[in-house]
Amino acid sequence: MIFLINSGHNQQGKQYQMCGRYLLSSPVENVRRLFNVDAAAAIMPRYNIAPRQPVLIVRVGEQSARELIAVEWGLVPEWKKEIGDKPLINARLETIEVKPSFRSSIKRKRCLVPFSGWYEWKTENGKKQPYLIEPVDGDPAAFAGIWSTWHGPGGDFWLETMAIVTASTTGPMKKLHHRRPLVVAPDQYDAWLQPQDPLPRGFLDSFDWAPETAFHWRSVSNKVNNVRFDDEACLALAEIDPQHSLF
């Protein structure tokens, strides 16, 4: 079985970054079918995946075959001397080709990040209210991601990490957040995964990212604010504040 457990970081911290939490609760059969990977072992459902935790990605492995593996969420560039305190959980599409932390990975180490939904927070009545965003069709989908291998200052250690690619919101999702994770269409999985160095001109503009209208959202329980909670209770409808229920 593949167990994704807390890595010991941010156990009680609140993450309101974009995209700072997501879930993967789809049956293994759905993951295997959608991504054409060997996932014979069970995948434990996760409802509150947070930075610095192990997560599943799909990438091109040996002999150009797809593989489903666990890496840590929060990219550490190969050239970094230390891991640092602030994980790079997102990579902006607008600067990913030129930013030193990402420009190598976007050419040679792109990946798909399977998910069933993700969370955003919106200020309402002076409080941060979490919202769950899910695909309208109910199927698992894939964030556009990049990964890297860090070998430590002495080269005697290795850690594989990833970041999710984001872009500005321009449609209905703008009501929740000014940015969103990019979701790769299934018919473009191969194009995203295949390494290309250098990148062809206009490569990133050639993708038909899933539109914002392919998702719907609803407010959910504040339990998701704390990474110690990782069960279906995170998906419960938000409780109505009695002080604001009279009008």
Annotated domain spans of the chain:
22-244
Q: Tell me which of 9 and 189 has the higher pLDDT.
A: 189
Amino acid 240: pLDDT: 63
Query: Residue 23: pLDDT band by 50, 70, 90 thresholds?
Result: very high
**Percentage above 90 pLDDT, the chain:** 74
Q: Is the pLDDT of residue 42 over 80?
A: no
Question: How many Å separate Cα 84 from the centre of its chain?
Answer: 20
Least confident of 5-9, 67-71, 184-188: 5-9
Least confident of 70-74, 145-149, 151-155, 241-245: 241-245
Topology classification of domain 22-244: hypothetical protein yedk fold (3.90.1680)
Query: Residue 241: pLDDT band by 50, 70, 90 thresholds?
Result: low
Pairing of strands 159-168, 66-73: parallel
The answer to whether residues 207 and 168 touch, using CB atoms and an 8 Å cutoff, is no
Q: Tell me which of 173 and 62 has the higher pLDDT.
A: 173
Mean pLDDT on 88-100: 97
Residues 6+ apart with CB under 8 A from 233: 47, 221, 223
Which pTM does this prediction carry? 0.89
Strand (E) positions, 125-191? 127-135, 141-150, 159-168, 179-181
Mean pLDDT of the chain: 88
Query: Residue 17: pLDDT band by 50, 70, 90 thresholds?
Result: low
Q: Is the pLDDT of residue 148 over 70?
A: yes
